Copies of this chain bind each other. A is one copy, B any other.
Amino acid sequence: MSPRRDPEGRRRAIVHAAVVEIAEVGIGQVTHRRIAARAGVPLGSTTYYFPTLDDLVSAALREATETARAQLEAWADELLASDDIAGTFVDLARGYLADREQALLEYELCLAATRTPQLRPVAQLWMDGLRGICARFTGGPERGFALAALVDGVLLEALVTGDELDAGGLRAGVEALVSRRTAAGRT
């Protein structure tokens, strides 16, 4: 199945399997064996490419963040091109929650970062990215931070309650925070 001679591919396959596995069972429950099984590689490969399980988990979370980063950029593009900021935010959030497990992983990473210093920068990446985007649509950085927090909070709540996204709340919040002038100036 996996190419005999493609170390980089192997590595990526393992990391990817780790991401999926973490998303599914949570950081605390992930094991070498599970990842190896999921990736379809021998157990030894996981420790060969990653000396420690922590290393592997870190790599997985890093990759997950990369994914999120790309997503954030897509958000920025869509938001800039939209003339209904609030509506677009709702659409984007809904899209984000579509892959619930992936989204969960993101938040789990954030919490894990609070106890694992090496995860800090990874988590920071997401936070900063979201804040950066939000700040473009509000009068000042403070409101931008508030908007980012709002989005984070709405997403978290949806994940926790298991309900649909609270579109009404999100829309109301965005509208209250987004600068009229900015929105108007764009038309």
Residues of A within 8 A of B (CB): 25-29, 104, 107-108, 110-115, 120, 123-124, 127, 140-154, 156-157, 159-162, 166, 168-173, 176-177
Minimum CB distance partner of A128 in chain B: B161
| A172 and B142 within 8 A (CB) | yes
- List, in ascending order, chain B residues with CB within 8 A of A104's CB: 111, 114-115
Provide the residues of chain B in CB contact with A114, threshold 8 Å: 104, 159-160, 162
Contacts of A143 in B (CB 8 A): 169, 172-173, 176
- Which of A124, A140, A143, A157 has its CB near the most chain B CB atoms (within 10 A)? A157
**Which residues in B have their C-beta under 8 angstroms from that of A124?**
160-161
Q: How far is the CA of A142 from the CA of B173 in the complex (A)?
A: 8
Show 6 A/B contacts (Cβ-Cβ < 8 Å), sorted by A: A108-B111, A143-B176, A146-B172, A147-B173, A149-B149, A149-B156
